[in-house]
Amino acid sequence: MSVHNLKTKPQVDAILQAKIHLAAANRLAVLDDLHEGIDNHFTMTVPGYKDRFLILPFGLHWSEARASDMIIFNEKGETLEGEGVVELSAQCIHAPIHRITGANVVLHTHQNWAVTLNMLQDNRLLPASQTAAFYHGLVAYDDTYTGTADFLEEGERLAAAIGDKKVLFMKNHGVLVVGDTVAQAYKRLYKLERICRAQVLAMSTGRPIQILSEEVIAAVQKPPVDDRHTRAGRDNLYFEAMMRVLDRELPGYAD
């Protein structure tokens, strides 16, 4: 079975599949300009465990991420498998969020347009487009930047802030998204950047922004009765397509 196929694989392959998808997400962040070189962090709970997490070790550029590079670490910051170490803020932000919220995938970036919006006093995401409507009710806001995350307590604070939402806007800092799968979480992160860009550009015109009504938002968010593709299926098809793009543009992530 192809490593590009996101359908269920035997359990013995689950960890390898997770490593491949996480490496692909790191590389996609380079193609989509969501990265800061070696900084920021993508993590995933190791299949079969709740207290072990996959991450690209600190020091590797995201464009060179490979499945074989992924290390497994715990909340103490110990490397349990692989070569390299987890960066301190990655440990302190991600491990508590995984533990407290139960999120399988946690992606944190300082991507340009989201950071731009989070630099404003009023950084609320506006439901003013079809794409933005899908995020209405999914976003939590942390309005108190406290500095770099050097202690596990900061991750616990952020976990409390995101609660049961899927996106956390971090004022003066960046964004964080959670998901059940790498496909779901990465698509969520990518679409979020496009929404933030569109909102900032619309705001820059100085003209009034048309907000969608609650009725329209509810209609957008409700899956059509005759839809041929589930939401999860759409996430998978998107990520499979993007891995094919990687195969052409930035191959080697599955090594």
pLDDT tens by residue, 196-252:
999 999 999 999 999 999 999 999 999 888 888 888 889 999 999 999 999 999 999
Out of 1-5, 163-167, 231-235, pick the least confident: 1-5
Do 255 and 16 meet the contact criterion of CB atoms below 8 Å apart?
no
Rg, the chain, Cα only: 18
Residue with tokens 């952020």: 158
- C-alpha 169/C-alpha 116 separation (Å) is 11
- Over the range 192-218, which residues count as b (16 or more CB within 10 Å of their CB) and which as e? bbebbbbbeebbeeeeeeeebeeeebe
User: What pLDDT is recorded for position 6?
Assistant: 53
- Average pLDDT of the segment spanning 142-157: 94
- Average pLDDT of the segment spanning 70-97: 97
User: What pLDDT is recorded for position 1?
Assistant: 36
C-alpha torsion sign, points 119, 124, 130, 133: positive
Question: pLDDT tens-digit profile of 105-117?
Answer: 999 999 999 999 9
- C-alpha 52/C-alpha 116 separation (Å) is 33
- Average pLDDT of the segment spanning 117-140: 97
